[in-house]
Structures are given as C-alpha cells and as structure tokens.
Amino acid sequence: MLDEHEAEIVTFGLSKFHIMALIKECLNCNIFKWSGQYFSQKRGLAMGQRLAPVLAICFMSRIERPVIARMPIMYCRYIDDCCVISSTQQEMDVLFDIFNRQSQHIRFTREVPHEGCLPYLNTQIKISGGRYHVKWYRKNSSKNILLHANQGRIPSRSGHLK
C-alpha cells in the first residue's frame, strides 16, 4: 500500500525501508502479561496494539481484491469484518473460497441469514424486494464484558504507555 498511495502519504522523510523496519520492531515487541506470566505474540496482531487497525486494513486491502473484482452486489468492510451480498448461494460459496485461499494464516468464517436477516457488526441487514435494509442490532450473546485499561500491561513499562 505504501507504493500504491505514495503520493498521498506524509512519511516525514522516512523511506519505505525505514517505515517497514519500524513496523517490524513494533510487531516484534508484542509482550503481554496474563495470569502472572509474560508472553510474546509470535504471529498476528495483538488486540489493543495501536498499529493493529492500520495493519489489518493494509492486509485486508490485499485479501479483498480478488473478491471485489468479481463485483458482488454489496461489499463492505470495517477493519477485518467483511459483509458480502451476492446474487446466488453458489457465487457466495466461490467468494468465501477466494477469501480463504488468500493467506494460510487466516481463515474466514461466515454468518448465514436467519429469518432473512444477516447480522453485521452492530447492524442487521435484511434483503427484501431487491433492496437491502439496515437497522441497529445487538447479539443476544453480548455480555458487556470489558477489559480493564491496565490489563496486559507490563508493570515496569506501564508508565510509558498511553
């Protein structure tokens, strides 16, 4: 994406090489504490890491290209949550297969419509009369469990984290 959007990105004098080196260093420092023990995340992005949303968007922009090229009826994405509407179940199966062939490190799952409605993030999408309608939605399984802001921080470094 750096090459593709080079003219639109302010790099503050950093070369692509230096930007990639900084990103790699940030990813190599994924250390967290759980139940009194320290762990280092070996692959993927840690939830709560500041770079995670940006890197997920970059990764997904590559993953989604072959799906978008097939021009589904509707495609939208928020970070790494995709919503696809296709004209047939067969086309949906093909799109799902395309998604899952893009990387060996990620497997997509899918929701199937229930009573004509499909949940997506905090919305519910219903297709009727060739149009789709969106309304707010809350999963019954939502338990409002939130992680405390200090959870997972390394005590000796927590004064340096914001």
What pTM did the predictor assign?
0.68
**Can you tell me whether residue 118 is helix, strand or coil?**
strand
Q: pLDDT tens digits, residue range 79-97?
A: 889 999 888 899 999 999 9
The helix/strand count (H/E) of the chain reads as: 3, 7
Domain ranges of the chain: 6-160
Cα distance between residue 162 and residue 150, in whole Å: 10
Q: pLDDT tens digits, residue range 103-140?
A: 998 899 988 888 888 888 989 999 888 788 888 887 77
